[in-house]
């Protein structure tokens, strides 16, 4: 990727609504250059979309938890596919170490934690689920991703 491509990404990470005209002005290139490079970044899968960043607490989610999941290894991909379909799970991944999978979830209250943990625990081939709660200021923002 070129320096211009990286600069486009950095600007869009801060505000995905930034116009091509504004990006071009900041980078001192033409709007067509930005448009073409953006289109190539999308085509190559570097930029996969844009989104609105929501403060979970403002919409009733008062905490973020991590579910650490022990699973039968040969079924971890199947379980992962089920996890990413669950509404309150915002990130799910395979892990290396003590646990096979991890799911980051937004929850409203203790009952929601209990219900979500149980929903994951009863997935076939899940052996154990442990819950860790995040403390303090929770930030999920694209500009924190490092390139």
Instruction: Encode pLDDT of 23-54 as tens digits.
Output: 999 999 999 999 999 999 999 999 988 877 77
Q: What is the pTM of this model?
A: 0.70
Q: Is residue 127 part of a domain?
A: yes
**Which residue has tokens 């991944």?**
93
CB 62 within 8 A of CB 108: yes
pLDDT tens digits, 117-130: 999 999 999 999 99
Q: Is residue 143 part of a domain?
A: no
Residues 60 and 92 in one domain: yes
pLDDT tens digits, 61-75: 888 899 999 999 999
Report the alpha-carbon distance of residue 138 to residue 77 in Å, rounded.
28
CATH number of the domain encompassing residue 79: 3.30.70.920
Residues 94 and 39 in one domain: no
120: exposed, middle or buried (Cβ count in 10 Å: 0-12, 13-18, 19+): buried
Q: How many domains does the chain have?
A: 2
pLDDT given for residue 128 in this prediction: 97
pLDDT given for residue 147 in this prediction: 44
Q: Is residue 49 part of a domain?
A: no
């Amino acid at each position: 990727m070129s320096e211009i491509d990286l600069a486009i990404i950095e600007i869009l990470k801060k505000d995905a609504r930034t116009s091509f005209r504004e990006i071009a002005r900041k980078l001192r290139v033409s709007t067509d250059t930005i448009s073409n490079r953006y289109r190539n970044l999308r085509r190559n899968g570097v930029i996969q979309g844009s989104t609105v960043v929501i403060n979970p607490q403002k919409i009733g989610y008062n905490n973020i938890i991590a579910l650490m999941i022990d699973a039968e290894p040969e079924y971890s991909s199947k379980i992962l596919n089920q996890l990413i379909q669950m509404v309150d799970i915002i990130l799910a991944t395979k892990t290396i170490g003590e646990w096979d999978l991890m799911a980051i979830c937004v929850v409203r209250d203790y009952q929601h934690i209990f219900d979500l943990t149980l929903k994951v625990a009863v997935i076939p081939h899940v052996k154990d689920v442990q819950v860790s709660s995040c403390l303090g200021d929770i930030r999920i923002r694209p500009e924190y991703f490092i390139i």
